[in-house]
Amino acid sequence: MRCDQCNQNDATIFITQIVDGQTTKMALCATCGEPFTQAAAAAPEVREYLQGRRVPVSSLVDVYAQGADHDARYTKEAFWFVRDGVDHSVRSHSGASRHVTAHELLESLRVLALERYGSNAREQLGSWGVTRCEDFGEIVFALIDKGAFGKRPEDRKEDFDNGYDFASVFPVATP
């Protein structure tokens, strides 16, 4: 399902509001939904509610945005895009939670970038600081360090080296 606001990214935040019997539903991507998650994380009522139900308040913390806070080379959108790429790879290969190889992830990221941004994919990725496959590897391993992803002993950051040439797989449209 696409985000109701930007219509580009997959929706990961679902909001239902009921006021005077009127129901409004929104499906938002992480980028468009960030103000809602930040407000929820900061609201004492939400914190108390979650703690009363033994839900860790840390579940509201965005480890992807935190990854960007700790690595100024990339924006939080780049971290969210890698998250979406992992999800895309899992769904396209089996649908069940499983390990994703660097090669599978790179292919999913390529497909996802082209689906979302078309001939502007290279420009969009570049605006996030991602200009080569090695950048995806840096982001993946930063997220592994944050606990967002697991890894197998044979997984290495170098598995992302020379995955594909951005200029070849993300051609820029000519006017």
DSSP string covering 47-91, please? HHHHHHTT--GGGGS-HHHHHHHH-TTS-HHHHHHHHHHHHHHHH
Mean pLDDT score of the chain: 86
Collapsing DSSP to helix, strand or coil, 15 comes out as strand
As a whole-number percent, the residues of the chain with pLDDT over 90 amount to 41
Put simply, whether the predicted model's pTM sits higher than 0.85 gets the answer no
Residue 57: pLDDT band (50, 70, 90) is low
Q: What is the pLDDT of residues 118-151, one digit of tens each?
A: 999 999 999 999 999 999 999 999 999 888 888 9
More confident residue, 88 or 48: 88
Report d(CA 166, CA 169) in Å as an integer.
5
Strands (E), the chain: 13-19, 22-28
Residue 20 has pLDDT above 90, yes or no: no
Instruction: Give the DSSP letter of residue 37.
Output: H
Query: Which amino acid would we find at residue 162?
Result: N
| 8-17, 41-50, 72-81: segment of lowest average pLDDT | 41-50
